[in-house]
Structure formats: C-alpha cells, structure tokens
C-alpha cells in the first residue's frame, strides 16, 4: 500500500469526518455546560461516571478505571478530581479493604449540579447531532451514533 492508495485515503477521510463530528459535538456541549452550569465537558463526564458507582462488589472505581472511563491520563484525572473536590462536588476516601486505594464519591452538591446539568448536556448533544446530520459527510456517522444508543432487537 502507498500513501495514495484509495483504501488509505478513504480511511483517512473517514477518520477526519469522525474527528470533525466529535469536535463539533464536544464544543457545542462545552459551551452549553459552561454557560448554564459552570462545568466543562470533562467535569460533567467525571461527575457522571462517578455518580454511577454503587456499594456492591466492584461498584467503586479506582483512579485508573476512572481515567479510562473519562478518556484522560491518570494524572489529568487526578487534577480534575482535585479541582472538583476543591469546589465541594467530590470527596475522596480510603478503600476499606486496601488502605493504599483511594476512592472518589460525588457529594450531594455534585449530584445536584449533575442533575441540573444532565438535561443541558442531553439537549446540546441532540442539537449538535441534528446540525451535523445536515452535512452529507457527517450524516452517516450521526446515524451510527444514534443507532448505537438503541437497544438490540429481541
């Protein structure tokens, strides 16, 4: 294969379209969350992931698992956790079974902010997808995103 191979060119164009779609969606959601709730997309994502923890077996995430879930490095995730902890939206505590482990929980204030921000996030996502669907290059990707959220047929 060469750099001008049609298969590689199509692959590169597909990747560019996917990257463009992601960037547009993220920017639209970022503006909405910042304007209405003073949250970044990353902060919202972190609160959302941590809010889904539970007290059952494996219900609390270690920092590496959190980093993987929000697609950040561990150091960036730790800085993000610290920033939200400083705002009173999160709290950290030692793992009761492994004193080396540290878990993070969403505070009541964090849960309240997340509940208030969730409709903004959802509306901004829908708006960004609707806008992207009008672009013939992005429309197939929008359909793929939309179908990924549907339950599998019985």
Residue 17 lies in a domain: yes
Please count the structural domains in the chain. Answer: 1
Low-confidence winner among 25-34, 90-99, 107-116 (lowest mean pLDDT): 90-99
Average pLDDT over residues 114-128: 98
Residue 127 lies in a domain: yes
CB 141 within 8 A of CB 129: no
Range of the domain at 92: 8-148
Check pLDDT > 90 for residue 149: no
What dihedral angle (degrees, nearest 10) is formed by the CA atoms of 12, 16, 19, 23? 170
Residue 140 lies in a domain: yes
Residue 86 lies in a domain: yes
CATH number at residue 79: 1.10.10.10
Check pLDDT > 60 for residue 54: yes
Check pLDDT > 70 for residue 126: yes
Average pLDDT over residues 13-25: 94
Better-scored residue on pLDDT, 151 or 93: 93
Residue 153 lies in a domain: no
User: What pTM did the predictor assign?
Assistant: 0.87
Residue 3 lies in a domain: no
Check pLDDT > 70 for residue 92: yes
How much of the chain exceeds pLDDT 90, in percent?
A: 71
Residues 6+ apart with CB under 8 A from 31: 124
Check pLDDT > 60 for residue 153: no
pLDDT of residue 139: 96
Distance of CA 67 to the CA centre of its chain: 11
Task: Work out the pLDDT band at 3, boundaries 50, 70, 90.
Answer: low
Residue 2 lies in a domain: no
């Amino acid at each position: 294969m060469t750099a001008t191979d049609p298969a590689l060119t199509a692959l590169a164009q597909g990747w560019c379209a996917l990257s463009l779609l992601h960037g547009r969606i993220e920017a639209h959601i970022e503006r909405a969350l910042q304007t209405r709730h003073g949250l970044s997309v990353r902060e919202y994502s972190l609160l959302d992931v941590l809010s889904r923890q539970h007290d059952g077996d494996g219900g609390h995430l270690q920092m590496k698992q959190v980093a993987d879930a929000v697609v950040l490095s561990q150091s960036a995730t730790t800085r993000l956790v610290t920033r939200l902890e400083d705002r009173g939206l999160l709290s950290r505590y030692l793992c009761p079974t492994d004193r080396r482990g540290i878990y993070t929980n969403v505070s009541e204030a964090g849960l309240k902010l997340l509940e208030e921000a969730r409709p903004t996030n959802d509306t901004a996502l829908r708006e960004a997808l609707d806008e992207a669907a009008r672009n013939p290059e992005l429309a197939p990707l929008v359909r793929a995103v939309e179908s990924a959220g549907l339950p599998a047929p019985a």
